[in-house]
Structure 1
Amino acid sequence: MKRHTRKVNTTVFFLALAAPFNIALAQDKAPPQREQTNEQAPQAQPIRPGPPRYLEQYPFLADSDKQTDFFDPIRHIKLGQSSWLKLGGGIRYKYDHLDNPNFGLSGESNDNYLQQRLNFHADFHLFDNTIRAFLEMSDTESWDKDLYSPYDQSDAEIHQAFVGVRLPTFGHGNLNARLGRQEMAFGEQVLVTVRDVPNIRQTFDGARLSYRAGNGYKLDAFAVRPVTNVRTGSFNDSSDHGSGEFYGLYGTIPINKMLSVDLYEMSYLRDNRTLNGVSGDEDRHTLGTRLYGENSAGVDYSTDVMYQFGELNDDDIRAWGFWSSVGYTLENTPWKPGAALRFDVASGDDNPNDNESNTFDPLFPANGKLYGNGSLTTMANLVAVGPQFAFSPFQNVTISPTILALWRESSDDAAYTPGMNPIAGTADASGSRLGTSYDLFTRWTPTANLTVDLEYQYYDVSDVIRDVGGKDTQYFSMRTSFLF
Structure 2
Amino acid sequence: MKRPTWIWLYLIIFLSQTNMAYAKEDFTTTGSSQTIQTTSWPNLYQRARSYSTHPESDPPRYVRNLSQTGIDALKNLYWLDVGLDYRIRYEHRHNDIRRSRITTDNPVLLRTRAYLGIREILDPLRFVVEFEDARRYNSKFPKDNRDWNEFELIQTYGELYFKDALGRDDLGNHRPVRIRGGRMVWEALDRRLLASNQWRNTTNNFEGFRMTLGQESNNWEFDAWGVQPVIRLIDKFDRRDKGQWFYGVIGHFRQWSKIVTIQPYYMGLIQDDDGGTRAKREIHSPAIRAYGIVPDTEVDFDLGAVYQFGRDGGQKKSAHAYLLEFGYTFQQAAWKPRMSAFYGYISGDRDPNDHTNNRFERFFGFGRPWSADDYVIMENIQAPKIKVEFQPHPDLQIDGGYNGFWLASKADRFNNLLSSNGNNRDRSGNSGSFLGHSADIRARYRLTPHISTTLGYSHWFNGGFVKNRQLAELGETTAGTDFFYVEIAVSAFK
> Shorter-chain TM-score category?
0.7 to 0.9
Shift of 1:55: 5.3
The Cα shift of 1:371 comes to 1.9
Aligned to 2:23: 27
* Cα contact 1:386–1:402 (8 A) shared by 2: yes
Report how far residue 304 of structure 1 moved: 1.4
Q: Residues 460, 323 of structure 1: CA spacing in aligned structure 2 closer, same or farther, 3 A cutoff?
A: same
TM-score (norm 2): 0.83
Change (3 A) 1:128 1:237: closer
Task: Name the counterpart of 1:144.
Answer: 138
Corresponding residue of 2:490: 482
Structure-2 residue corresponding to 1:86: 81
Aligned AA (1:384): A
> Alpha-carbon deviation of 1:418?
9.2
Choose which of 104, 128, 153 in structure 2 pairs with 1:158.
153
- The offset of 1:254, in angstroms, is 1.9
Partners of 1:124 and 1:22 in 2: CA distance: 23
SS in 1 for 2:197: coil
For the 8 Å contact 1:283–1:310, the answer to whether it is kept is: yes
Q: 1:30 to 1:279 in 2, by over 3 A?
A: closer
Q: Which residue of 1 aligns with 2:400?
A: 401
Report the Cα distance in structure 1 between the residues aligned to 2:178 and 2:280, rounded to whole angstroms: 33
Partners of 2:16 and 2:450 within 8 A in 1: no
Q: Which residue of 1 aligns with 2:192?
A: 190
How far, CA to CA, are the matches of 1:441 and 1:466 in structure 2? 27
Which AA in structure 1 matches 2:288?
T
Tell me the residue number matched to 1:230. 233
**Structure 2: how far apart are the matches of 1:228 and 1:436?**
33
Per-residue deviation at 1:403?
1.0
* Distance of 1:320 and 1:73 partners within structure 2: 55
Please report how far the alpha carbon of residue 202 of structure 1 lies from its aligned counterpart in structure 2 after TM superposition. Answer: 1.4
1:51-81: per-residue Cα shift (whole Å, max 9, x none)? 446256867x74xxx754x6x865x653xxx
Q: How does the TM-score come out when normalised to structure 1?
A: 0.85
The equivalent of 2:302 in structure 1 is 302
Q: Which residue does the alignment assign to 2:385?
A: 386
C-alpha deviation, 1:7, in angstroms: 5.3
SS at match of 2:59: helix
**Which residue in 1 is equivalent to 2:441?**
440
8 Å CA contact 2:12–2:491 kept in 1: the answer is: no
In 1: Cα distance, 2:91 partner to 2:245 partner: 33
Report the CA distance shift for 1:170/1:377 in structure 2 as closer, same or farther (over 3 A): closer
Measured against aligned partners, the alpha-carbon deviations of 1:208-261 in whole angstroms (never above 9, x if no partner) come to: 00011664201001011111213414xx1111213x210010111124111111
CA RMSD of aligned residues (A): 3.5
Find the residue that maps to 1:27 and give its secondary structure.
coil
**Larger deviation: 441-450 or 120-129?**
120-129
Shift of 1:35: 8.7
> Which consecutive unaligned segments of at least 5 residues does structure 2 have?
41-53, 169-174, 471-476
Give, in whole Å, the separation in 2 of the partners of 1:86 and 1:8: 24
What letter corresponds to residue 368 of structure 1 in structure 2? Answer: R
Following superposition, the deviation at residue 282 of structure 1 comes to 1.2
Change (3 A) 1:171 1:27: closer
Match for residue 455 of structure 2?
454
SS at match of 2:292: strand
Query: Is 1:339–2:334 an aligned residue pair?
Result: no
CA distance in 2, matches of 1:19, 1:461: 46
The residue that corresponds to 2:359 in the other structure is: 359
**Residue type at the aligned position of 1:113:** P
133-142 vs 168-177, greater mean Cα deviation: 168-177
For the residue of structure 2 that corresponds to 1:321, the secondary structure is strand
1:303-348 deviation per Cα after TM superposition (whole angstroms, max 9, x unaligned) = 1100111111210010001122111111231111111101000001
For 1:361, give the aligned amino acid: E
Equivalent residues in 2 for 1:287-326 (5 A)?
A: 287-294=286-293, 295-326=295-326
Q: CA deviation at 1:408?
A: 0.7
SS of 1:465 mapped into structure 2? helix
Match of 2:223 in 1: 220
Counterpart of 2:51? none
Report SS of the residue matched to 2:97.
Answer: helix
- What is the correspondence of 1:98-113 to structure 2 with a 5 Å cutoff? 98-102=93-97, 106-113=100-107
SS in 2 for 1:417: coil
* Moved >4 Å (runs of 4+): 7-23, 32-37, 39-44, 55-59, 418-423
Q: Residues 34-58 of structure 1, C-alpha deviation per residue, up to 9 Å, x if partnerless?
A: 5999x999557xxxx9944625686
The DSSP-based 3-state class of the residue aligned with 1:464 is helix
- Is the Cα contact below 8 Å between 1:178 and 1:208 reproduced in 2? yes
Aligned residue pairs total 457
Alignment partners' CA distance in 2, 1:210 and 1:466: 47
